[in-house]
Structure 1
């Protein structure tokens, strides 16, 4: 099962089983949540992929990705629909080798438009690694 998610400028698909929880949050609100155990690290998904993809939406959706000791909340503008059965085409080897980050895993045609499938677990690991390196440099 796949989720179609939207950032300010793009839409992507992600595997539903990689997302533990979907949560609506307000911009500037407490992203950790009272029930959050382990702690949550929030990151905007759009700018991680495209620096120009910055959202101004006040109400956000958090895709909660569980890792070992932390949960990562990837913030998006909307979660549109769930696709039950989809024929996602894997990215060709040549294209995968040219990606800066190995986050794109395939492509699905939706309304004759290609939509990239993201590996949100890989993105979450990258966010955690960036935060760990930043805290070690302080």
Structure 2
């Protein structure tokens, strides 16, 4: 789950290359697999994808996902307990809510986008 106000648009994209990678015609947009950021073993095989477009000050980040199930405007999100929040590898989870009696973690996609941009900047500087 992500907050709707953190995502500028939702865009459908299709894989266009022979190796299963998405093409990126707009070089000002940085594309990143959200699933692989959360779990490196999460590799998508879907041909039709969705991109959550997250604008930052200098760049735009497209977080690629297989599907968007639903959009929630106002949800009763409970913050993560401090002990759990301190144990996260990345501080991307902001809370939990119940959706159809199932706990769903809310992700801070703006923090994820900033992390992607920071990693890309570091990688560029190391070259």
Query: Do both proteins adopt the same fold according to a TM-score greater than 0.5, normalized to the shorter chain?
Result: yes
Give me the whole-angstrom Cα distance separating, in 2, the residues matched to 1:100 and 1:32. Answer: 32
When you count strand as a share of all residues, which structure comes out higher? 1
Measure how far apart 1:83 and its partner are.
2.0
Normalised to the residue count of structure 1, the TM-score between the two structures is 0.83
Q: List per-residue Cα deviations over 1:51-87 (Å, max 9, x = no partner).
A: 1211110111001101111000000011111223321
Measure how far apart 1:29 and its partner are.
4.2
Q: Which residue number corresponds to residue 128 of structure 1?
A: 117
Match of 2:5 among 14, 17, 32: 17
Give me the whole-angstrom Cα distance separating, in 1, the residues matched to 2:56 and 2:73. Answer: 25
- Helix, strand or coil for the counterpart of 1:81? coil
Measure how far apart 1:108 and its partner are.
1.1
Structure 1 residue runs of 5 or longer lacking an equivalent are 1-12
Give me the whole-angstrom Cα distance separating, in 2, the residues matched to 1:42 and 1:73. Answer: 5
Is 1:40–1:70's contact at 8 Å kept on the other side of the alignment?
Answer: yes
Match of 2:32 among 20, 33, 43: 43
After superposing on structure 2, the runs of 4+ consecutive aligned residues of structure 1 that deviate more than 4 Å are none
